[in-house]
Amino acid sequence: MRKSMSGSFLAFFVSTVVLILLLDGCSDRSPLEDKNTAPRITSASLVEAAADIPFCYTAEVSDPDGPAPVVQFLDYPQWLTAEHDSLTGTPPVGAVDTSFTVVASDGDLADTLAVTIQVNPTLVVYGDTRTGHTAHQQVVDQIRAVKPATVFHVGDLVNNGLDQSDWDTFNIITADMRAESEFFPALGNHEYQSPLYFNIFELPGNEQWYSVTRSYIHFIILNTCVDISPGSDQYQWLASELASIADTVRFVAAVFHHPPYSTGVHAEDELGLREKIVPLFEQHGVDIVFTGHDHDYERSFCGGIYYIVTGGGGAPLRAQARSHPCSQLFLQEYHFCRLSIVGDSLRVRVCDQASVPLDDFSLSRSVSP
């Protein structure tokens, strides 16, 4: 009797186990799916910023099995504020590369990501400083206040490039700025190709035309006071330079003295640059051109290129002499141009000698102006 009952119980147990296995085999779930998986942070680990440009970082997190993860930010700089899944703020002047940590947790498991903020340096372009030493000093003081890594000058640094005393005054005004920032000038007509100019500055190439890349911008500095017509040495160099821009460059800028587009008092396109070099600019996708010669600020847009006259560094200001369909803004003001780049956007802000904003516009390689 006892043997019969034991056999019946064993048969019942085996049948029950088989039924459970069969039912489990019919289920769509697998044992792995009952296990919690950690959140995964998918946002970038390297981002860019620039001084005085609003910055925002939003943490992107995936977690298919929930619950919704909680995001925390650790060790971020004081100029940033954390709120929910975002960090926002504006880097101050002088900000340097920094970092922070993102933590995403579902209460059980977590993911962390170290993020580096690359702070792209400020660049400045100005020119036509010449005889207005008080105004020039005021402009230089404001340039120094934005702590540029590099300063470009569009020419006519002094009134008479052959006069040592003019250079002595220029050096007194700019000495501190040039000690703090790289300085790359273009030759203007008032330099007169003076040996004094070449003695003062140590520049790349032949020191008359040359190029440098700073903050993903390729700057091409030209000398429009010597031959630049097709076939000349300078033209051939320019054509070669434009045809070999590195893939890492995001924007191309030209810097020289005489403007192809201007409504100032000098004769319109007095050197015929619209025929000589503008076709090269348009062919090779130059984004912006900085010039001087006319003592004012003017923004023009023609053929897909911005043309900026930044001749308000100290030379006597002059009024507008005519109109032109390409001209967008003309100001009779002392000023400098401040360049900031973040990603695919180049922002140009123009300020006067008291740092009052005069103009503000942006370029994007993917969006037409």
Express each pLDDT in 80-107 by its tens digit: 999 999 999 999 999 999 999 999 999 8
Digit-coded pLDDT (tens) for 41-81:
999 999 999 999 999 999 999 998 877 899 999 999 999 99
Kindly state the helix (H) or strand (E) to which residue 65 belongs, with its residue range.
none
Percent of the chain scored above 70 by pLDDT?
90
**Beta strands 46-50 and 110-120, pairing class:** parallel
Q: Among all chains, which residue has been given the structure tokens 């560094």?
A: 313
Q: What's residue 22's pLDDT?
A: 34
Q: Which among 271, 288, 269 is positioned nearest to 227, based on CA atoms?
A: 271
Domains of the chain in sequence order:
40-119 (2.60.40.10), 121-364 (3.60.21.10)
Q: What's residue 34's pLDDT?
A: 57
Distances (CA, A) of 366 to 75, 97, 250, 345, 369: 34, 27, 11, 9, 10
What would the two tokens of residue 264 be? 């100032």
Q: What's residue 360's pLDDT?
A: 98
Is it the case that residue 162 has pLDDT exceeding 70? yes
Tell me if 232 sits within 8 A of 291, measured CB to CB: no
- In a 13 Å sphere around the CA of 32, the CA atoms on its Cβ side amount to 0
Q: What's residue 35's pLDDT?
A: 79
The alpha carbon of residue 207 and the mean position of all alpha carbons in its chain are separated, in whole angstroms, by 25
Is it the case that residue 5 has pLDDT exceeding 70? no
If one counts every other C-beta atom within 10 angstroms of the C-beta of residue 174, the result is 21
Instruction: Give the integer Cα–Cα distance in Å for 264 and 270.
Output: 11
Q: What's residue 67's pLDDT?
A: 77
Is it the case that residue 26 has pLDDT exceeding 60? no
Tell me if 248 sits within 8 A of 214, measured CB to CB: no
What's the rounded mean pLDDT across residues 194-213? 97
Q: What's residue 64's pLDDT?
A: 85
Q: What's residue 32's pLDDT?
A: 47
Instruction: Give the integer Cα–Cα distance in Å for 356 and 138.
Output: 12
What's the rounded mean pLDDT across residues 236-259? 97
- The per-residue pLDDT of the chain, averaged, comes to 91
DSSP string, 158-210: SS-TT-HHHHHHHHHHHHHHHHHSEEEE---GGGTT-HHHHHH---STTSSSE
What's the rounded mean pLDDT across residues 344-356? 97
Distances (CA, A) of 224 to 191, 265, 325: 12, 18, 24
> pLDDT-derived band of residue 13, with 50, 70 and 90 as boundaries?
very low
In this structure, what are the phi and psi dihedrals at residue 272, rounded to the nearest 5 degrees? 65, 35
What's the rounded mean pLDDT across residues 28-45? 75
Is it the case that residue 19 has pLDDT exceeding 80? no
Q: What is the largest CA-CA distance in the chain?
A: 129
If one counts every other C-beta atom within 10 angstroms of the C-beta of residue 44, the result is 13
Is it the case that residue 136 has pLDDT exceeding 50? yes
Prediction pTM value: 0.88
